Amino acid sequence: MYQALTEIGIIHQLTETILRTSLPKPLTLAQFKVLTHLSRVPEVNTPTRITNAFQVTKGAMTHTLGLMLKNGFVTITDDESDGRTKHVHMTKVGQEILTQAITEMAPNFAELGTQLDGAELEALTKSLGKLRVYLDKSRE
């Protein structure tokens, strides 16, 4: 298992470098990740829940969300039933820059996609998903 996790870590570092260089300005890698998160699980949208999902400090997430708000990528609204709670929602501008980022990074990963056939990629994705679910549950 250690070797598998080491490979995942190395792949993570290498792909983040590719991502960072292909993101449209002013989108940062942290903002890209938050937009991706909001597109995947829009119900996990309070700043606290997003902070917990990314396992970063509250200050780091507050800074990231502030820049995203300034750039028009998200809105932050008060909860209707509890004024202390805020909700983060992706805007049309946020969805557009996320789509643009995914489109612009596609060529960087096209050759990588040829390294696995469809069945291998499907099996890998399923296995990685199982590990993610386990790790997510184990931190609760």
Phi, psi of 55, rounded to the nearest 5 degrees: 50, 50
pLDDT for the residue numbered 127: 94
CATH class name, domain 2-138: mainly alpha
Is the separation of the CB atoms in 48 and 82 below 8 Å?
Answer: no
Phi, psi of 120 (to 5 degrees): -65, -45
How high is the pLDDT of residue 9? 94
Residues 6+ apart with CB under 8 A from 41: 53
Percent of the chain residues topping a pLDDT of 90? 68
Is-above-0.75 flag for pTM?
Answer: yes
Measure the CA–CA gap between 95 and 101, rounded to whole angstroms.
Answer: 10
Closest CA to 98 of 6, 18, 29, 1: 29
Residue 140 pLDDT more than 80?
A: no
Using pLDDT thresholds of 50, 70 and 90, give the confidence band for residue 38.
Answer: very high
